[in-house]
Structure 1
Amino acid sequence: MRLHRNLCFAVIDGLMSIFNDEEYADKVIQQLLKRDKRWGSRDRGFVAETTYDIVRWKRLYAEIAEVKEPFNRDNLWRMFAVWATLKGIKLPDWKYFENTPTRKIKGRFDELSKIRKFRESIPDWIDAIGVEELGESKWTKEIAVQNKQADVILRVNTLKTSKEKLQNTLFDQDIETEFIKGYPSALKLTERANVFMTEAFKKGLFEVQDASSQLVAEMLHVEPGMKVVDTCAGAGGKTLHIASLMENKGQIIAMDIYESKLKKLKVRARRNGVHNIDMRVIDSTKPIKKLHNKADRVLIDAPCSGLGVLRRNPDAKWKLEPQFLDQIRGIQQDILQRYSKMVKSGGKLVYATCSILPSENENQINAFLESEAGKDFTFAKDKKVLAHESGYDGFYMALLERH
């Protein structure tokens, strides 16, 4: 592979924004890809994947390059040189790469690869909590998989098409997919492709949604005509799945504390042909109280550490802090206590997170069931999904039934 100056500069600029300005990697990369209209798909792929790669392995590369945060541009070029050397890419004769110690880089990599926190490039405190909550063996396997690139999984919008029809439609556009056993609405791309540019996406025939995430709506056991509340709807990936399972019949109330996210859901719902969603901003306690004892089904897709989806958000491990984890556990329990009151007698509640930590998952359910608010509920079942066992995102979901 030959390195091109303008593409490498784009990567360095992106890393400056992500590491020093604390911007989100996905947003930074979206902006970078608009930088030069002459770039082809290979150029854009290089910029996106190289930026994500260096973000993912920040700690390891910085240690090998012997640089410390906050990084200046020279530091980032040194880290880039480490990335290129370990990929076997010949460094061009540019001033940024003068005196790059190629052999030393490879030696340091071999040495540091024996230590998990460097090998998997994670902060000490995340490594410690992973071992504490999952055990040495399980954590070692899980964090290794969380550093691999995730597959692209589609969820078929069954309001508009079937899995077989969508597969044929995409095949005609040179995008090959395969079915995944046990995931009724999922198609996995055999090779990465920009599916958002396809006519099929513009027509609302599918959404991009990981296989594990698709299990959450399935666990609710919704039926057409029900009243369902999605309490932390966000931009609505699971809301739209619920709508398709309900065949557009009944009522879905999508709630969130951020109005901007619900606006995105509105756009997605229109594209998906979904018209049974009411959107409500949680700006006080009123919207929750109005729904007390009214819902057949309630989904709490709770805010969490996101440690089950680091493959998709590698910058999250650098933004997370121990105090956030303590804070989020308090919020999770508070949400369970308050939002569970919307479930009517005989109704069902699903609590879900994209975390792999028991303290955010089964421990929260146990604490809730032992509380005053939880005495009306019975534990039905739960599902713990680990990336190293499933091949898909780490997730947790629990089904509770109200007496």
Structure 2
Amino acid sequence: MPKSDNASSASPARQGLPPEFIERLQRILTPDAFEEILRTFHMSKETTFRVNPLKSDADSLKKELESLDLHPETIDWLPGAFRVPEDERRALTESNAFYEGRLYIQNLSSMLAPLLLAPEPGERILDLAAAPGGKTLMMAGMMENRGWISAVEPVRERFHKLRANIDRAGASCVHTYLKDGRGVGRALPERFHRVLLDAPCSSEAKFSTLRPQSYAFWSRRKIRESRKLQRRLILSAWESLKPGGRLLYSTCSFAPEENEEVVDFLLRKNPQARLLTIDLPVENSMPGLLRWEKKSFDPSLSRSRRILPTREMDGFYLALIQKEPNR
């Protein structure tokens, strides 16, 4: 990617963030998008959430919140999803609807992953890195609580948060497992119709200069460590997937090492893997990269998508992979 002209490193949009992160981001994005997206790291984001269809419906939830003098606005491209101004977030989290599981606060980018995977009632689904459970619960709602979702989380503290969220939402089709996801594929080969792997990552898309701790420990080393884990997890996810099934791989990182490179690693090891075209309901995205530094990727990586951050959406990476049936 060509670089934009050299702006002062002291410009307001660049202050605070690690200089090496900014330099890498400039090479990932187009020149037109770079400065605009850089500014999003300094913004207070709108709060977005969705109704839990296992306990309520969009109209009832909207009326309930309006009775509390909140002002939810519908998201036109995603039925059941809403936004409120940032200054209403606290009141939202103190509402009975929140505590009783009729709504779940979740970034819109995160909601795209279950939307694209499209689980159906009665299917067997694996969520391989499930905590805190937002995507798991969205899938349970899409499946009308019919079928089986295995939600795997290796970190004990996060696992208990996952369990609490599932219980609050009434998602009885979700079954939780305190396990290392790297061993699931070997233990349960070709068991699941669909697999969601929102992989642990360097969390670059969650950086905010309003929260300096969000990038305090960022480094290229952390990216490399994340990539090593992600490769193991995506192979496990693939092994657990039935022929004909679909795997949705996502991260909240911009780093190609954690995104295109991991998917390319899977494609090269498994001839049955085919990257599918993603049809997104939003315009703030760009195709996956075909080259990063000295590495070239499979041409089909252009079918993956990188969500570009806005005031209401975090950055995100999405790749939808089909496991072709055995011939």
TM-score when scaled to structure 2? 0.82
- The verdict on how the C-alpha distance between 1:260 and 1:353 changes in structure 2, with shifts beyond 3 A counting, is same
Corresponding residue for 1:364?
262
- The verdict on how the C-alpha distance between 1:223 and 1:369 changes in structure 2, with shifts beyond 3 A counting, is same
2:189 counterpart of 1:267: no
How far did 1:262 drift? 1.7
- The verdict on how the C-alpha distance between 1:170 and 1:319 changes in structure 2, with shifts beyond 3 A counting, is same
How far did 1:330 drift? 2.1
- The verdict on how the C-alpha distance between 1:285 and 1:170 changes in structure 2, with shifts beyond 3 A counting, is closer
SS in 1 for 2:50: strand
2:104 maps to amino acid? E
| CA distance in 2: counterparts of 1:191 and 1:168, whole angstroms | 19
Give 1 or 2 for the bigger CA radius of gyration.
1
Aligned Cα root-mean-square deviation (Å):
2.2
Q: Deviations over 1:59-87 (max 9, x none)?
A: xxxxxxxxxxxxxxxxxxxxxxxxxxxxx
TM-score when scaled to structure 1? 0.67
Corresponding residue for 2:308?
386
Corresponding residue for 1:339?
237
Corresponding residue for 2:292?
none
Corresponding residue for 1:162?
57
| CA distance in 2: counterparts of 1:166 and 1:279, whole angstroms | 27
- The verdict on how the C-alpha distance between 1:158 and 1:115 changes in structure 2, with shifts beyond 3 A counting, is same
The 8 Å contact of residues 120 and 144 in structure 1, kept in 2 or not, is answered as no
Q: Deviations over 1:146-184 (max 9, x none)?
A: 210111111110111111211110000111110112122
Question: Number of residue pairs matched?
Answer: 289
User: Which one has a larger percent strand, Structure 1 or Structure 2?
Assistant: 2
Corresponding residue for 1:76?
none
Choose from 269, 273, 285 the match for 1:377.
273
The 8 Å contact of residues 184 and 236 in structure 2, kept in 1 or not, is answered as no
Structure 1 residue runs of 5 or longer lacking an equivalent are: 1-111
Whose RCO is larger (CA < 8 A, sep 6+)? 2
How far did 1:391 drift? 4.1
Corresponding residue for 2:75?
180
Aligned ranges 1:77-88 → 2 under 5 Å: none
Aligned ranges 1:215-230 → 2 under 5 Å: 215-230=112-127
- The verdict on how the C-alpha distance between 1:396 and 1:205 changes in structure 2, with shifts beyond 3 A counting, is same
1:323 maps to amino acid? R
Q: Identity across aligned pairs (percent)?
A: 27
- The verdict on how the C-alpha distance between 1:317 and 1:400 changes in structure 2, with shifts beyond 3 A counting, is same
Aligned ranges 1:198-277 → 2 under 5 Å: 198-277=95-174
Choose from 282, 285, 299 the match for 2:179.
282
1:317 maps to amino acid? Y
The 8 Å contact of residues 183 and 215 in structure 1, kept in 2 or not, is answered as no
| CA distance in 2: counterparts of 1:182 and 1:156, whole angstroms | 14
How far did 1:116 drift? 4.0
How far did 1:296 drift? 0.3
Structure 2 residue runs of 5 or longer lacking an equivalent are: 1-6, 278-303
| CA distance in 2: counterparts of 1:191 and 1:301, whole angstroms | 26
